Amino acid sequence: MSTTTKGYRFFLLALFFIMGIGAERVGLIEYYSDPWEQEYVLFLVRQHLHLVLISMGMAIVTGLAAGIFVSRKKFKKYAGIVMYVIGLGQTIPSLAVLAIVMSFLGIGSKPAIFALFIYSTLPIARNTLAGILSVSPAIIDAAKGIGMTPRKILFQIELPNAMNVILTGIRVALVINIGTAALGYLIGAGGLGDLIFTGINLMQTDKLLAGALPVILLALIGDYLIELIGVIIIPKGIRLAD
């Protein structure tokens, strides 16, 4: 085992040890040890995942469709306009987006999902467009030369070669989505923001951390899963070339 690896493991162990001491001192371990609180945290995690998964599904479908649409030769001139319209949601602060959406969808999960969808679409659409446009024209010309149709070129050449960039956009959108979903509590959508804002309002560090740590873990797990999906769906030759 190399010295660098040993040092890295020692650092992680020391970090976890310090975090454990801190968690004990603020009462987080005691909070998580309460069976009722455990059930409540799991309930909020399910609410949080409900908001994230539905909004991300909508964002992925819309972002991919928009990116592919404006990457076509006859629609490239509209790319700037389409990306500007999609990006309008991210130019507005997240709380303002929630307030605007709430004004016509009311309170609850629907406005939160719609706001998260608006916030998450731009990175996916932009990276889809950038990924497709970065594919070498020589590869596309070769595909045309062997008689491949535009549809086959898109699904067998352009998208596989652009997938690494596309997944990067999805990863960014997912992390933003998971963090922003905590604000859904403010409009009655539930989620882990319940514990975070309750902890802030009551100045209870244990509740604040009990809500914040699962959000961090969800973001890390989501990031890892997207990377794992990339390993599975991106051909090895393309991954090595990137």
Sequence spans of domains, the chain: 1-33, 35-241
Both tokens of residue 237? 């030759």
Q: Phi/psi class of residue 65: alpha, beta or left (left: φ > 0; alpha: ψ in -120 to 50)?
A: alpha
Give pLDDT tens digits for 124-148.
999 999 999 998 889 888 988 888 8
Q: Does residue 15 have a pLDDT over 60?
A: no
pTM score, whole prediction: 0.86
Architecture of domain 35-241: Orthogonal Bundle (1.10)
Both tokens of residue 206? 């244990």
pLDDT class for 73, splitting at 50, 70, 90?
confident
* Rounded mean pLDDT, 35-56: 93
State the number of CA atoms in the 13 A half-sphere of 179 facing the CB.
13
pLDDT class for 1, splitting at 50, 70, 90?
very low
Both tokens of residue 51? 């908001």
CA distances from 220 to 159, 216, 223 (A): 26, 6, 5
Q: Which of 30-34, 36-40, 56-60, 196-200 has the lowest mean pLDDT?
A: 30-34
The residues, ordered by sequence, that sit 6+ positions from 29 with a Cβ below 8 Å of its Cβ are: 20, 23
Q: Does residue 222 have a pLDDT over 90?
A: yes
Taking the C-alpha atoms of residue 86 and residue 231, their distance in angstroms, rounded to an integer, is 29
Given a contact cutoff of 8 angstroms between Cβ atoms, the answer to whether 195 and 211 are in contact is yes
State the number of CA atoms in the 13 A half-sphere of 88 facing the CB.
7
Instruction: Please count the helices (runs of H) and the strands (runs of E) in the chain.
Output: 12, 0
- Most confident segment among 33-42, 69-78, 93-102, 124-133: 124-133
pLDDT class for 173, splitting at 50, 70, 90?
very high
For residue 51, the model assigns a pLDDT of 95
Q: Is the pLDDT higher at 117 or at 4?
A: 117
